[in-house]
Amino acid sequence: MRNLSLKQLQAVAAVARLGTMTRAAQELNVTSAALYARIRQLEEEAGLLLFDRTPGGLKPTDAGREMLWAIDSINTVLETCTDRLRTLRGAEGGRVALGVVSTAKYFAPQVIAGFVKKHPGVEISLSVRNRGQTVEALRGYEIDFALMGRPPRDFPIEAATFGPHPIVLIAPPDHPLAGRAGLNREDLADQPFFLREEGSGTRMVFEEFMAGVLVKRAPLDIDTGSNETIKQAVMAGLGIALLSVHSVAAELESGRLVLLNVKGLPIRRDWYAVRRADKVLGPAASAVWSYLMAEGARSLPGVAQSGLALTGVRA
């Protein structure tokens, strides 16, 4: 298909998004007849239908989806070109799309606040998701870079650490194991645990740490994707949980929660800033990245909350 043009691909994308030739023609500011001819020419050259007629409108066929993949790839190249040009201009300001895993929401606003005081012209879009969703946003170029505890390994990335991320075991102050020193993992076998959702970084750490020990689940079915819900359940005396120290700093300081002194805890992990290896950061995103490397650790809550917090082992 040597004569394939960007206009033709944009026509396919418009029809796929809007579902009708008429609406797509209006958006593209062409007649319905002209748009139909453009799509028909593409189908003749490809030898395949690009759309199926359904009760819900025109839906792309497999061939149509290949065309959509092509326009997405072209848009990515154009965006990369724009980023490179912006980098060459060295312009200040702009917009940064920052993605963070749910645990990072406890310090990301402080990082952003510190940065915008020095760079008031930069607009930052912050998205908070679970680890899987954040990785997919990174993979799909939806964000400039992400903050997470464990970088992905199934596509090329660049990652840099900017601060410690201890994982601790929390319990209510009146828990039978509270205040006891030198506990072993086996001492936890009969304790009801609240676990984060499958695929979360904290869940992975828990499974590694408790490997070989039969774990009892807490007798309450809750949304384990929520640190806040888990904390409330632990404070209510319904179980214990392994969580990031950043997510429980306020409760530890107020005495509503305590850390259990278990050998091997806290588990020392690190926070990473992660971007795609082929993602060129513009001046604004580069400035946020540099600020994070220099100042990010100062925004981390709870690291010095307890003498335990810096004495554990690395995961």
pTM above 0.75, yes or no: no
Coil, helix or strand at residue 79 = helix
Q: What pLDDT does residue 135 have? A: 96
Lookup: tokens for 173: 């102050």
Q: Taken in order 186, 311, 196, 148, is the CA torsion positive or negative?
A: negative
Q: What pLDDT does residue 310 have? A: 39
Identify whether the C-beta of residue 213 lies closer than 8 Å to the C-beta of residue 185: yes
Hey, what amino acid is at 108? A
User: Mean pLDDT, consecutive 10-residue segments, the chain of 315 residues?
Assistant: 76 91 91 89 87 90 90 85 65 81 92 92 91 94 94 95 93 94 88 82 84 70 72 92 91 94 90 94 90 91 50 41
The upper half-sphere exposure of residue 294, i.e. CA atoms within 13 Å in the direction of its Cβ, equals: 8
Give, as one character, the DSSP assignment of residue 278. Answer: T
Q: What pLDDT does residue 82 have? A: 78
Beta strand pairing call for 57-60 and 94-101: unpaired
| DSSP per position, 30-68 | S-HHHHHHHHHHHHHHHTS--EEEETTEEEE-HHHHHHH
